[in-house]
Each structure stands twice: as structure tokens, then as C-alpha cells.
Amino acid sequence: MTADPKTLYQEVILDHNRKPRNYGRLDHPSHQAEGLNPLCGDHIHVALELSGDRIVAIAFHGESCAICKASASMMTVAVKGRSRSDAEALMREFVDMATGRLAAGDAAHIGRLAVFSGISELPMRVKCAILPWHTLHAAFDEVATTSTEAEADPMHTPIGDA
């Protein structure tokens, strides 16, 4: 029995919007950044606490559409407890999958995040799904604010290729 991917996608998005995981603020974040997606109006904050190389706490909050909120919620679940390098490897897989450069079946670590694989067929929504990862990346690099439309952002060009 295989669940219809579209139905699964809708259920996951709804579930994470109703009950976003790790939603809120951290008392003592070691890294944080805010992310903007002007095309949609998404504006989120991601904060995390690194202990050595490990993400021991992560939280997000902000105003965003359902896809961005669900993606942020699932991202926090996926990276919590992981090392920074594991989280960054996962980020690259997610971005490649969301932009259609990597099939979900070829993404070794993607797990439940595979529900976003269909997003590559919705170019207007790709940036909504990627923004939380983009913001996590900025937090690691201690960039205070990132935007999906910023020229200087290294992830801008690949995203535009979708």
C-alpha cells in the first residue's frame, strides 16, 4: 500500500501548521538569523544553540505561509541533535531536491522531508520551502539577515535556476 504523495504532502503541511514543532524562542541561542522571502512575504527567525559541533536546541518563529512554516517545523525536527556538518549536508540535499536537481529517492538522508519533493514543480513555492534552510545556513555563518532575493547570497543562483 502506497500513500498518494500529494495527500501525504497536504497532511504533513497541515499537521505542522496546526502544531509547529520547536516554535518559539531560545533563552540563550549561540547562533541566530532572520530570513526574508519578499516574493511571498515570508519572514522567519531561526535560533539555535550549538554545544561543540552539535545542535542541542533550535527554535523558529515568524510570519510565513503554510509551506514555509511546515518546512521550518520539519527542519528543526530533522537537525536537532545533529552535528553542524550533518545539518549542512541535509540542507544541500533538501535544496537540491526542492529545486529538482536531486530525486528524493537519491537523497540518502532526506527521510520525511521527502514530502517536499513535489515542490520543484511549483517554482513560486520553492523559495518558501527553502527559506528556513537558507536562514539556518545564515545563522551558522553568523549572517544576521538573509534574503532569497539577495544578490550576494551564495544560494541565490541555484535557487533561481529552478
For Zn ion, the binding residues (CB under 5 A) are 40, 42, 65, 68, 128
For residue 66, the minimal CB distance to Zn ion (Å) is 8
List CB contacts of 65: < 8 A, sequence separation 6 or more. 40, 41, 42, 128
Least distance from Zn ion to the Cβ atom of residue 85, Å: 28
Number of residues that this document lists for the chain = 162
Alpha carbon distance 148, 39 (integer Å): 9
| Minimum distance from residue 35 beta carbon to Zn ion (Å) | 11
Return the number of the residue (65 or 114) whose C-beta is nearest Zn ion.
65
Cα–Cα distance between 114 and 74 in angstroms, integer? Answer: 11
The residue (of 130 and 139) whose beta carbon lies closer to Zn ion is 130
Of 42 and 93, nearer to Zn ion (C-beta) is 42
